[in-house]
Amino acid sequence: MGQRITQIDAFSDTPFGGNPAAVCLLAGPAGEAWMQAVAREMNLSETAYLHPEAGGYRLRWFTPGGEVDLCGHATVASAHFLWEEGHLEASAEAVFFTRSGRLSARRSGEWIEVDFPADPIEPGEPPPEVGEALGAAPVFYATTGLYALAEVESEAELRSLEPSYERLRGVHPIGLIVTARSSEPAFDFVSRFFAPNVGINEDPVTGSAHCSLGPLWGERLGKTEMIAFQASPRGGVVRLRLAGERVILGGQAVTVMRGSLTSEPPAGS
């Protein structure tokens, strides 16, 4: 039996929705080259690697193009995996040690709530290549600690975007969040996320982007609790609660595949 791997759709309550992540529970640290090779093989927006550490789990996230500092949907998927597979009691908190510090997750009914750091925005003038890449002029532009962010005029415009991924490569080394106020009463705002430089032309649902979107729309709407929709072809719902310098992201998750790799992980550090 090789290394087990599980594919989980996060920010969705049904299979084949939301954002898929692969989750590998390891006995200990594994070599980075092997983890990156598996992530390329899985070809999902994220492959998450866990191993026990100090009463919790070390958690690392890899896209097909490289390791990232923060990932929401693969954290939701990792917590779902630990509870579903019996590694944690249903009532227990999942604790993760990551490149973005200590993160935690708890179950709230059918939802999983993850406690993430807010990612403050710095407004600025949009570089010309942003509008050129999107085919639409931003009405607001900012940079965050992780990404670039552009607001467009309406949800209809956001949904109709057909960006040039080649031009988007020059906008930001990781990715660009695009957002608009929702035209539907069920949601407060909508977004899309593009990250061709890390091997993801359009990410289905991006939890980490909501660490900036939450504070931005919370201030504009005068709310501390919101419901967002990421309008990718797969789509996904994110619940948000603002808590000072933290953002609590809520999502559902469903397991869609279990299997094993024939390649065993080499030891790493």
Catalytic residues: 46
Q: Tokens representing 199?
A: 């091997």
Q: Which residue has the tokens 């990932």?
A: 71
HSE at residue 34, side-chain half, CA atoms within 13 A, is: 16
Q: Are strands 66-68 and 94-98 parallel, antiparallel or unpaired?
A: unpaired
What is the distance of C-alpha 150 from the center of its chain?
18
Class of residue 157 by CB neighbours under 10 A (exposed 0-12, middle 13-18, buried 19+): middle
| Residue 186 per-residue DSSP state | T
Give the largest CA-CA distance in the chain. 54
Give the chain's length.
Answer: 269
67 forms beta bridges with 62
Q: Which residue has the tokens 């919790």?
A: 56
Residue 70 backbone dihedrals phi, psi, to 5 degrees: -155, 135
Listed as own residue / partner, the contacts of 243-248 with beta carbons closer than 8 Å and 24 or more positions apart are 243/115, 244/118, 245/117, 245/118, 246/115, 246/116, 246/117, 246/118, 247/116, 247/117, 247/118, 247/210, 247/211, 247/214, 247/215, 248/113, 248/114, 248/115, 248/116
